[in-house]
Amino acid sequence: LPLYRNGDVLIVEPGAVTRKGDRVVVKTTSGEVMAKVLERQTVKSIALVSLNPDHPDRDIPMRDVEWVARIVWASQ
Protein backbone atom coordinates (compact mmCIF):
# COMPACT_ATOMS: atom_id res chain seq x y z
CA LEU A 1 0.00 0.00 0.00
CA PRO A 2 1.20 3.54 -0.49
CA LEU A 3 3.26 4.98 2.33
CA TYR A 4 2.30 8.54 1.43
CA ARG A 5 -1.20 9.49 0.32
CA ASN A 6 -2.82 12.52 -1.29
CA GLY A 7 -2.99 15.28 1.31
CA ASP A 8 0.06 14.13 3.31
CA VAL A 9 2.65 16.83 3.90
CA LEU A 10 6.30 15.95 3.35
CA ILE A 11 9.15 18.11 4.63
CA VAL A 12 12.35 17.61 2.67
CA GLU A 13 15.87 18.88 3.19
CA PRO A 14 17.45 19.54 -0.22
CA GLY A 15 20.96 20.16 1.15
CA ALA A 16 21.04 17.07 3.37
CA VAL A 17 23.50 14.28 2.67
CA THR A 18 21.63 11.23 1.37
CA ARG A 19 22.59 7.65 2.14
CA LYS A 20 21.39 4.23 1.09
CA GLY A 21 18.03 3.51 2.71
CA ASP A 22 16.97 7.17 3.02
CA ARG A 23 13.50 8.11 1.83
CA VAL A 24 13.89 10.80 -0.80
CA VAL A 25 11.89 12.92 -3.19
CA VAL A 26 13.36 13.15 -6.68
CA LYS A 27 12.39 15.57 -9.44
CA THR A 28 13.45 14.76 -12.98
CA THR A 29 14.25 17.30 -15.66
CA SER A 30 11.01 16.27 -17.40
CA GLY A 31 9.02 17.41 -14.32
CA GLU A 32 8.23 14.00 -12.80
CA VAL A 33 8.29 14.02 -8.98
CA MET A 34 8.52 10.79 -6.99
CA ALA A 35 9.05 9.56 -3.44
CA LYS A 36 11.31 6.52 -3.28
CA VAL A 37 14.00 4.85 -1.16
CA LEU A 38 17.57 5.58 -2.21
CA GLU A 39 19.33 2.35 -3.15
CA ARG A 40 22.47 3.82 -4.74
CA GLN A 41 23.70 7.13 -6.13
CA THR A 42 26.78 7.59 -8.28
CA VAL A 43 28.01 10.38 -10.50
CA LYS A 44 26.26 8.68 -13.45
CA SER A 45 22.96 7.40 -12.04
CA ILE A 46 20.60 7.07 -9.11
CA ALA A 47 18.87 3.78 -8.21
CA LEU A 48 15.56 4.10 -6.39
CA VAL A 49 13.34 1.47 -4.74
CA SER A 50 9.62 2.09 -4.90
CA LEU A 51 7.65 2.59 -1.69
CA ASN A 52 4.51 1.39 -3.50
CA PRO A 53 4.49 -2.11 -5.07
CA ASP A 54 2.24 -0.77 -7.86
CA HIS A 55 5.14 1.37 -9.12
CA PRO A 56 8.45 0.02 -10.44
CA ASP A 57 11.90 0.62 -9.00
CA ARG A 58 13.83 3.16 -11.05
CA ASP A 59 17.40 3.64 -12.27
CA ILE A 60 17.71 7.19 -13.59
CA PRO A 61 20.73 8.79 -15.26
CA MET A 62 21.89 11.78 -13.18
CA ARG A 63 21.69 14.00 -16.28
CA ASP A 64 17.89 13.48 -16.03
CA VAL A 65 17.69 14.44 -12.32
CA GLU A 66 16.88 18.05 -11.46
CA TRP A 67 17.13 17.54 -7.68
CA VAL A 68 17.12 14.97 -4.87
CA ALA A 69 15.97 15.84 -1.33
CA ARG A 70 15.87 13.66 1.78
CA ILE A 71 12.48 13.35 3.47
CA VAL A 72 12.93 14.49 7.08
CA TRP A 73 9.29 14.53 8.25
CA ALA A 74 5.85 13.42 7.06
CA SER A 75 2.39 14.30 8.39
CA GLN A 76 -0.13 11.57 7.71
Q: What is the pTM of this model?
A: 0.89
Beta carbons within 10 angstroms of residue 71's beta carbon: 20
Q: Sketch the domain layout of the chain as residue ranges.
A: 9-75
Per-residue pLDDT band for 3 (boundaries 50, 70, 90) equals confident
| Chain segment 12-69, per-residue pLDDT in tens | 998 899 999 999 999 999 999 999 999 999 999 999 999 888 899 999 999 999 999 9
9-75 belongs to CATH 2.30.30.100: yes
Alpha-carbon distance of 27 to 17, in angstroms, equals: 16
Integer-rounded Cα radius of gyration of the chain = 12
DSSP for 28-72, written as a single string: ETTS-EEEEEEEEE-SSEEEEEESSTTS--EEEEGGGEEEEEEEE
With beta carbons less than 8 A apart as the criterion, state whether 59 and 47 touch.
Answer: yes
